[in-house]
Amino acid sequence: MNLSDAVAAFCFGYPFVMSIYWMAGGLLYQRLRTRHEPPADRPPVLARHPPVSILVPCHNESRQLAETFAALQRVAYPDYEVIAINDGSSDDTGARLDALAAHMPRLRVVHLQSNQGKSTALNAGALAARHELLACIDGDALLDPHALTWLVRRFQSDPAIGALTGNPRIRNRATLLGRLQVGEFSSILGLIKRAQTVYGQLFTVSGVICAFRKRALHDAGWWARDALTDDVDVSWRIQLAGWRIVFEPKALCWILMPETLRGLWRQRLRWAEGGTSTMIKVFPALWTPPSRWRLIPVWMNYVVAIAWSYTIVAALVARAVHEVAGALGHALPWAWSGFSPIPQVWGAVLGLTYLLQAVLSMAIDERFERGLLRTLFWIVWYPLVFWTLQAATAIVGLPRALLRGRPERATWTSPDRGLR
Amino acid sequence: MSNNGDAPAWPPVIARARAPWPLRARDALLTLLAWFVLLWVLRDALLTLLAGISPETAARTADWLEHRLSPLLGHLVPVAPSAFWLELSDFLVVAALFVAWLAVWGWLNRKQLQRQPPAAGASDHASPAALPPHEQFAAAGLDQQAPLWQQTRRLHVEFDDAGRVLQAHDDDAPRV
């Protein structure tokens, strides 16, 4: 096999093999766990109800607070408190939280005088939290009434679990971008988390809905204030500290996602840069005793995904150069002509494999959200447009992560929350 | 705030109906167009896939499509299906190895995956000990401050430039 064939095999083979791997993971998870479990809307009564602290970091969330805290009042769990952390908001978030606290006995508010970033806000909230189990949601996320029960139940089932990731569901579906992400969260993220739970190591919890034992966070060194993606960073350190993380798909949380290309780009670029920074940061720890060698395949998958993005771009550039040189009558010093941007047979196989993955994942997720299969109509954009966006953010994210230099405190700006 | 006054309908999906109809119509039309573009781009490839399963059906479909949609599709030439399946088989073998690896881990982890919480009345000795507040506050460099942080309803926290907590005080307590 020459270089050209090897590159072609990699560009086709990586997403093809991984797609089959994620689908198998989803099916194995169904076989090994889901079929033994009750429906998400009918949780069993727990033998004990250990108290839980719900942390809600907020930065300029004034518009979302009423809904977020109304949903928190509907939580069907007997013993919980809510800690809202106002992270130096410049709008009236602080005043609104104080007003909510006056009428909501479970709610306490921590005001950070200046914007410190989500990690510091969560650390402050954890200090204020009275209980060992922490559930974390974003200031614009609506927690399902039974989510807390499912999270606690999973902690009770296994003392080795240090953290849990819940199942974020997209709320805003008014535009094409919103509906596209509905499919993405099922077909990509949902299957990946199921497969990684079967394997035993997760790439990350979802910061928008996750839960921790304080003991595990303490062993991991709490949230890192320089982490761009606090959830990825803390997930790796918790697993490096010897704790397990698993997916609890019945712990639902309804979230808002960007509905403009600019908002989506900024979000995905932050994810890519933050993920890459974490991979760089944790690399030495993977080899330091006690070795956490089972994390290495998860680490390698992330690195290979970045390499794949660069390879695709190199192939497209090579084709463009080849075509231009050919049109001008020049001979190039290399033989590799790259790929056409028009999919050929292998592109068709990839497209069809992805559609199969989408159908399978949505069939699995129908258990949690009736009518999900209807969003398949919109999924066509995923292989046409979304893969390009993902690859582009991976490509831009790598140099940004490498050139980031000295770690700084990662503060936040209010994201695009879609059409409402 | 009332208990349910601001509560959204459940599940709290913000539906298409909230978007203006021109936006909805545009999205639907563009998506239909995208499906046609995808199928058009993949026409030869799809026929090849079909030929790998049933050469006769692929040939009949190609004839039919050329006859009906000739100006759009041009001449349809499925590539040799045997070569296609031969090449794909290598990738399928690799995928099968990965799936086997995952299945082995699933089998090894099956007890963890199927574990249920202890029944009512069962002892809970397996739960890890809770983190004592003094350990957490010592790690944060805030010894002796647990009562202030954990009993205050409205806490105000100030930080220095390095992000360390300078001081925390109860917003409801009179400042000295």
- The answer to whether residues B32 and B67 belong to one domain is yes
CA–CA separation, A395 and A378 (whole Å): 26
Q: Are A48 and A156 in contact (CB under 8 A)?
A: yes
Does residue A321 belong to any structural domain of this protein?
Answer: yes
CA–CA separation, A180 and A161 (whole Å): 32
- The answer to whether residues B47 and B98 belong to one domain is yes
* CB-count exposure of residue A225 (10 Å: 0-12, 13-18, 19+): buried
Query: Which of B10, B111, B127 is the best residue to mutate to test the A interface, defined by the most A CB atoms within 10 Å of its own CB?
Result: B127
Does residue B128 belong to any structural domain of this protein?
Answer: no
pLDDT of A357 reads 92
Across the range B30-49, mean pLDDT stands at 82
- Supply the Cα-derived Rg of chain B in whole angstroms: 32
Does residue B12 belong to any structural domain of this protein?
Answer: no
Phi-psi region of B57 (alpha: psi -120 to 50; beta: other; left: phi over 0): alpha
> Quick one: pLDDT band at residue B121, thresholds 50, 70, 90?
low
pLDDT of A109 reads 97
CB contact under 8 A, A25 and B102: yes
> Quick one: pLDDT band at residue B3, thresholds 50, 70, 90?
very low
* CB-count exposure of residue A20 (10 Å: 0-12, 13-18, 19+): buried
B78: nearest CA in chain A? A345
CB contact under 8 A, B142 and A127: yes
> Quick one: pLDDT band at residue B67, thresholds 50, 70, 90?
confident
Q: Are A72 and A105 in contact (CB under 8 A)?
A: no
Q: CB under 8 Å to A378, separation ≥6 — which residues?
A: A176, A179, A180, A182, A183, B27, B31
Does residue B21 belong to any structural domain of this protein?
Answer: yes
Select the residue of A12, A200, A351 nearest B38 (Cβ to Cβ): A351
Instruction: Kindly state whether A263 is in contact with chain B, defined as any CB-CB distance less than 8 angstroms.
Output: no
Segment (H or E) for A99: helix A93-103
First to last CA, chain A: 53
Instruction: Kindly state whether B25 is in contact with chain A, defined as any CB-CB distance less than 8 angstroms.
Output: no
- The answer to whether residues B23 and B108 belong to one domain is yes
- The answer to whether residues B30 and B68 belong to one domain is yes
Query: Which of B108, B131, B143, B151 is the best residue to mutate to test the A interface, defined by the most A CB atoms within 10 Å of its own CB?
Result: B131
Instruction: Kindly state whether B152 is in contact with chain A, defined as any CB-CB distance less than 8 angstroms.
Output: yes
Per the structure, the count of domains in chain A is 1
Which residues in chain B are contacts of A158 at CB distance < 8 A? Answer: 112, 115
Does residue A297 belong to any structural domain of this protein?
Answer: yes
- Supply the Cα-derived Rg of chain A in whole angstroms: 22
- The answer to whether residues B140 and B106 belong to one domain is no
Does residue A9 belong to any structural domain of this protein?
Answer: yes
CA–CA separation, A56 and A204 (whole Å): 19
DSSP state of A172: B
- The answer to whether residues B86 and B59 belong to one domain is yes
A97: nearest CA in chain B? B154
Does residue A3 belong to any structural domain of this protein?
Answer: yes
CA distance B5 to chain A (A): 8
- The answer to whether residues B78 and B31 belong to one domain is yes
Across the range B103-124, mean pLDDT stands at 86
Segment-wise mean pLDDT, segments of 10 residues, chain A, 420 residues: 81 94 97 89 92 97 94 96 96 95 96 94 97 97 97 95 96 85 84 96 96 98 93 97 96 92 91 95 87 91 96 88 84 72 76 89 89 86 80 93 70 61
Does residue A114 belong to any structural domain of this protein?
Answer: no
* Mean pLDDT, rounded, of chain B: 82
Q: For chain B, what percent of residues have pLDDT higher than 90? A: 35
Does residue A136 belong to any structural domain of this protein?
Answer: no
CB contact under 8 A, B31 and A380: yes
Q: Are A80 and A104 in contact (CB under 8 A)?
A: no
* CB-count exposure of residue B64 (10 Å: 0-12, 13-18, 19+): exposed
CB contact under 8 A, B112 and A113: no
CA–CA separation, B60 and A309 (whole Å): 38
CB contact under 8 A, A172 and B119: no
Domain residue limits at A162:
1-33+143-207+230-404
- Binding-face residues of B in 100-119 toward A, CB within 8 A: 102-103, 105-106, 108-110, 112-119
Does residue A367 belong to any structural domain of this protein?
Answer: yes
B117: nearest CA in chain A? A157
pLDDT of A176 reads 85
- The answer to whether residues B25 and B94 belong to one domain is yes
Q: Determine the residue type at A157.
A: S
This complex has an ipTM of 0.91
Select the residue of A73, A197, A218 nearest B139 (Cβ to Cβ): A218
Q: Is the pLDDT of residue B125 over 80?
A: no
- The answer to whether residues B51 and B98 belong to one domain is yes
What is the CB neighbour count within 10 angstroms for residue B134? 11
Instruction: Return the number of CB contacts < 8 Å for A and B.
Output: 244
A102: nearest CA in chain B? B1
> Quick one: pLDDT band at residue B1, thresholds 50, 70, 90?
very low
Q: CA torsion, points A319, A321, A322, A323, in degrees to nearest 10?
A: 90
- Binding-face residues of A in 94-133 toward B, CB within 8 A: 98-101, 103-104, 108-114, 116, 120, 123-124, 126-130, 132
CA–CA separation, B95 and A21 (whole Å): 7
pLDDT of B175 reads 55
Query: Where would I find the H helices in B42-151?
Result: 43-53, 55-73, 81-108, 110-114, 133-139, 146-151
What is the CB neighbour count within 10 angstroms for residue A113? 15
For residue B84, give both structure tokens.
């296609």
In 3D space, the residue among A23, A24, A26 whose CA is nearest the CA of residue A35 turns out to be A26
Does residue B159 belong to any structural domain of this protein?
Answer: yes
Instruction: Kindly state whether A300 is in contact with chain B, defined as any CB-CB distance less than 8 angstroms.
Output: no
Instruction: Kindly state whether B154 is in contact with chain A, defined as any CB-CB distance less than 8 angstroms.
Output: yes
pTM here is 0.91
Q: What are phi and psi of A266, to 5 degrees?
A: -65, -40
- The answer to whether residues B104 and B53 belong to one domain is yes
Q: What is the bridge-based pairing of β-strands A80-87 and A52-58? A: parallel
Select the residue of A108, A200, A378 nearest B31 (Cβ to Cβ): A378
pLDDT in tens, B84-102: 677 788 999 999 999 999 9
CB contact under 8 A, B42 and A29: no
CB contact under 8 A, B1 and A109: no
Q: Determine the residue type at A25.
A: G
Q: Are A170 and A187 in contact (CB under 8 A)?
A: no
Domain residue limits at B110:
17-114
Per the structure, the count of domains in chain B is 2
CA–CA separation, A124 and A118 (whole Å): 10
Does residue B3 belong to any structural domain of this protein?
Answer: no
Does residue A301 belong to any structural domain of this protein?
Answer: yes
Q: Is the pLDDT of residue B52 over 80?
A: no
| Exposure on the CB side of residue A119, measured as CA atoms within 13 A | 23
Instruction: Kindly state whether B143 is in contact with chain A, defined as any CB-CB distance less than 8 angstroms.
Output: no
